Amino acid sequence: MNRVLEINRLTKSYGEAVALNNISFSLEEGKIYGLLGRNGAGKTTLMHIITAQLFATSGEVKVFGENPYENDRVLSQVCFIKESQKYPEFYRIKDVLVISKDIFPNWDAEYALQLVHDFNLPINRKIKKLSRGMLSAVGIIIGLASRAPLTFFDEPYLGLDAVARTIFYDRLLEDYAEHPRTVVLSTHLIDEVSKLLEHVIVIDNGKMLVNEDAETLRGQAITITGPAAKVEEFSRGKKIIQREGFGGLVSVTVLGNLSLPEQKQAQVTGLELAPVSLQQLIVRLTTDNNERKAA
Amino acid sequence: MSLLIDDSSPIFVQIAERIENDIIEGLLPEETQVPSTNQFASFYQINPATAAKGVNLLVDQGILYKKRGIGMFVTEGARDKLMEKRRERFFEQYVITMVNEAKKLGITIEQLTEMIRKGGNA
């Protein structure tokens, strides 16, 4: 697989504050990635550095094998849809679409118009008169119709209703199937997008926490519930990421798969096993980390 | 069974199970074509690579086979093979669970047998 992005020991600090701490990872061609983490984890800073809008304090960033800074050849292949994109004061939606054609070599004007129709946008209205949801839809249209080989969506659904979000997921999958490319969805709304993702990167407090195949993560944790003594005995030697007590019952979440004999043993001893969703897993991992730090 | 894919077990496993169910229930007869990876992806709103992984799982087990340039088809004899596999799982999944729950509630094996007979007549 070709790598479209390589990041090596990247650090960004603002004086004492460290926004990104020694991050390394790479993105492969033609995959949909999730860049997940809590608010303020460093996701947007990371995307700003990748798209050459911020300088790293140290470390290396290679986009399509090259340094992205003042590199038009590379930057024309990258589309970054920001959460709060600013447009010139008097631009209408129409004007944004015209400008996009000059910025993105793969721009599909016909497809963009189709999307304007799908999202039911008033094409002659000025950008500054649009609602938050409409503004998000404009960003989504640019992100999809630009067909950039590397596309970032930073929290693309602010203010979008459920119908519009579903349109976004549908169109993204459709267009991705026809024009495979690398897409990065950055969000803290994990449940809704988790099914779309092939690979998941989780950043927590500026550090890389998870860099794993989405399907591998889905089977990775399990919650065991039952009488305290039995749960303790069963989960001994396992990596516990969360523990909760409720009356005489204890519920622990452990990392790793249970073998078939273990599952049977749990059943016989009357323990309840429940799978953990991607969102729950990430919530548990990121909460756990911060608490440990505070302790 | 609900149409929605949930997030609690690997999605490719759930996709494989959906196809298995359709074969068992006769919705996908042997030697018919199964939907393409992209059709699965857009129907369930999942990543196409994940859908492909689910389909390939069944190819590896000989339940589906690939016709070059056309798509995936249900293998002859796939239904019998799946029924056999599900019957084996039935004991683990339902009988053992039921007996354990019965013990917890103080239901004897005789009473349980009687209940099953009654359930069969219902």
Chain B residues inside the 8 Å CB shell of A219: 9-10
Q: Is residue B114 part of a domain?
A: yes
Residue for token pair 């088809």: B73
Q: Do A194 and B7 touch (CB under 8 A)?
A: yes
- What is the rounded end-to-end Cα distance, in angstroms, of chain B? 22
Both B37 and B70 in one domain: the answer is yes
Same structural domain, B57 and B21: yes
Same domain, B91 and B61: no
The answer to the question of residue B19 being in a domain is yes
Q: Do B83 and B95 have their domain in common? A: yes
CATH architecture observed for domain A220-275? 2-Layer Sandwich (3.30)
* Residues from chain A contacting residue B53 (CB–CB below 8 Å): 215
**Whether A214 and B50 lie within 8 Å, measured CB to CB:** yes
Closest among A200, A171, A170 to A185, alpha carbons compared: A200
B70 and B41 in a single domain? The answer is yes
- B71 and B83 belong to one structural domain: no
For residue B5, the chain A residue with the least C-alpha distance is A195
8 Å CB contact of A270 and B104: yes
Say what the ipTM of the complex is.
Answer: 0.76
* B92 and B113 co-located in one domain: yes
For residues A80 and A155, the answer to whether their CB atoms sit within 8 Å is no
Q: Are residues B68 and B106 in the same domain?
A: no
Which domain does B55 fall in, by range? Answer: 11-76
- Which positions in chain A touch B47 (Cβ < 8 Å)? 32, 173, 195-198, 214
Residue B2 lies in a domain: no
Determine whether the interchain pair A215/B6 forms a contact, defined as Cβ–Cβ distance below 8 Å: no
Among all residues of chain B, which has the CA nearest to that of A171?
B42
Nearest to A13 by CA among A69, A78, A79, A57: A57
DSSP string for residues in A232-280: HHHHTTS-EEEEEEETTEEEEEEESPPPHHHHHHHHHTT-EEEE--HHH
Cβ atoms of residues A5 and A50 within 8 Å: yes
- Taking the C-alpha atoms of residue A1 and residue A90, their distance in angstroms, rounded to an integer, is 44
Residue ranges of the domains in chain A? 3-215, 220-275
Kindly give, in sequence order, each residue whose CB lies less than 8 Å from that of residue A28, ignoring residues fewer than 6 positions away: A1, A2, A3, A4, A182
Q: Do B8 and A214 touch (CB under 8 A)?
A: no
Contact A44, A154 (CB under 8 A): yes
The pLDDT, as a whole number, for residue A294 is 47
Nearest to A195 among B9, B11, B92 (CB): B11
> In chain A, what is the straight-line distance between the N-terminal and C-terminal CA atoms, in Å?
42
Q: Find the chain B residues whose C-beta atoms sit closer than 8 A to any C-beta of A.
A: 5-12, 38, 41-42, 44-50, 53, 92, 96-97, 100, 104
Chain B residue with CA closest to A278: the answer is: B7
Tens of each residue's pLDDT in chain A, 295 residues: 689 999 999 999 999 999 999 999 999 999 999 999 988 899 999 999 999 999 999 999 999 999 999 999 999 999 999 988 888 889 999 999 999 999 999 999 999 999 999 999 999 999 999 999 999 999 999 999 999 999 999 999 889 999 999 999 999 999 999 999 999 999 888 888 888 999 999 999 999 999 999 988 887 888 899 998 889 888 888 888 888 887 788 989 888 777 777 887 887 788 888 888 888 888 888 875 555 544 4
Min Cα–Cα distance to chain A from B20, Å: 20
Write the pLDDT tens digit of every residue in B62-78: 999 999 989 999 999 99
Work out how many domains chain B is built from and give that number.
2
- How many interface pairs between A and B have CB atoms less than 8 angstroms apart? 67
Within this chain, do residues B61 and B85 fall inside the same structural domain, yes or no? no
Same domain for B69 and B83?
no
Do B20 and B49 belong to one domain?
A: yes
- CATH classification of A3-215 is 3.40.50.300, yes or no? yes
B6 domain residue, yes or no: no
Buried b (16+ CB within 10 A) or exposed e, A184-213: bbbbeebebbbbbbbbbbbbbbbbbbbeeb
Task: With beta carbons under 8 A apart, name residues in chain A contacting B11.
Answer: 195, 215, 218
pLDDT of residue B2: 45
CATH number at residue B59: 1.10.10.10
Which chain A residues contact residue B89 at CB under 8 A? none
Cβ atoms of A12 and A20 closer than 8 Å: yes
Same domain, B29 and B41: yes
Q: Which member of A32, A195, A198 has the closest CB to residue B7?
A: A195
Using beta carbons and an 8 Å cutoff, which residues of A are at the interface with B?
A: 31-32, 166, 169-170, 173-174, 176-177, 191, 194-198, 214-215, 218-219, 264, 267-268, 270, 274-279
Tell me what the mean pLDDT of segment B100-105 comes to.
Answer: 88
